[in-house]
Amino acid sequence: MIVRPVLLISTLVVGLAGTVQAEALELSLRPGWTGAGHGSPVVDSPGRFLGTSADVTYRDARGTPLTYGSGPSGELQVSWRFVPLLAIGLSTAFRLSSSSQSELANVSVRRWGWRLGPTLRAHLPAFGGFEPWASLGVGYAEDRQVIQSNAPVRSESATYGIKIAHRGVVIPIGVGIDYRLSRLFSVGPSFEIARTFALSGCFENVSLASTAKACSTDDDPTVSAKGYTTWTFAIGARMSL
């Protein structure tokens, strides 16, 4: 009764070992598409600054806040496959977002983010050349926004600029499936959800008349930082070195 399960497990492990190199250095590159939420993760403290608990961002004459769409992204990972089913490594990722309001005239909007941290990846036994995997990481993350306008903003006619910086701890969780084209090279799709927990946030208002800066870490903060979630679909390639 016990012999058959043991033989089955042994066969799976031996089959995987024959396909994947144990104790191998691996390089992964995953270009994709990422969404980081529609609003700013740096917000106005209730009753302060803008007078509402709203996103600290550009607002047009009607008071409509700026919102963001999704954008391109990429992840680079270097890992060590110390056993056939497990790998540990270092991962860095970068993403871009654009304004979802195409009618904003004379307004330049840029938003980007990056992260860096260790990651652990677990693999299931390969079948028919396919190799499912799941990953868990932790790291440092930054989200940046730069908004510039030459049009009247909040009753100002001078050039108006906003710089927003958010810093936090990110926990990315990913799943994917790779298809091995050879013993050393594989490709496949993946999906990732990453939650960033806020450490701090800063808002800088720059115009020809004045410059003002406020941070969530001030003694009497007028802005606060909140967490946010990103999602990523990617198609990647992994190579064993």
Q: Which residue has the tokens 């089955």?
A: 8
**Which pLDDT belongs to residue 46?**
57
pLDDT reading at 91 higher than 70: yes
pLDDT in tens, 63-76: 566 778 899 999 99
How many helices (H) and strands (E) in the chain? 1, 12
Closest CA to 93 of 33, 133, 167, 134: 33
CA distance 143 to 42: 10
Give residue 137's pLDDT.
98
- The residues pairing with 172 across neighbouring beta strands, listed in sequence order, are 194
Domain count for the chain, please give it: 1
- Evaluate whether 159 touches 125 at the Cβ level (below 8 Å): no
3-state secondary structure 134-166: EEEECEEEEEEEEEEECCCECCECCCEEEEEEE
pTM of the model: 0.81
User: What does the CA dihedral 22, 26, 31, 35 come to, rounded to 10 degrees?
Assistant: 70
Residue 146: pLDDT over 90:
no
Q: What is the pLDDT of residues 21-58, one digit of tens each?
A: 567 899 999 999 999 988 888 887 654 544 444 556 65
Look up the domain containing 75 and give its range.
Answer: 3-240
- Percent of the chain at pLDDT > 90 equals 51
Question: 27: domain CATH number?
Answer: 2.40.160.20
Q: Given this model, what pLDDT does residue 9 score?
A: 45
